[in-house]
Amino acid sequence: MELQTIKERISSVQTKRDYLLSLLEQPNLGTLRVDVNQALEELDDLIDEFKRIIPQADSKPFKL
């Protein structure tokens, strides 16, 4: 998989994270708030792992 493709997918995940953050602002979320918080934690872990494993400055393609 090309690095650029992975970066695009991570960018998509970050956009979805922003949507989840906006859901937390809804007063009628109820018990789903726990699920939204869990999803945010998992997305944050995924993004952090990406940043740790793949240096942003490295533009060389690689294969998984």
Could you tell me the CA-to-CA distances from 32 to 13, 26, 27, 36, 61 in Å, in that order?
Answer: 20, 11, 11, 6, 39
Please tell me the number of Cα atoms within 13 Å of 3 on its side-chain side: 12
Instruction: For 5-61, write each residue's pLDDT tens digit.
Output: 988 988 898 888 989 999 999 999 999 999 999 999 999 999 899 888 887 634 444
* Predicted pLDDT of residue 62: 42
Degrees to nearest 5, angle at CA 39 with 6 and 20: 90
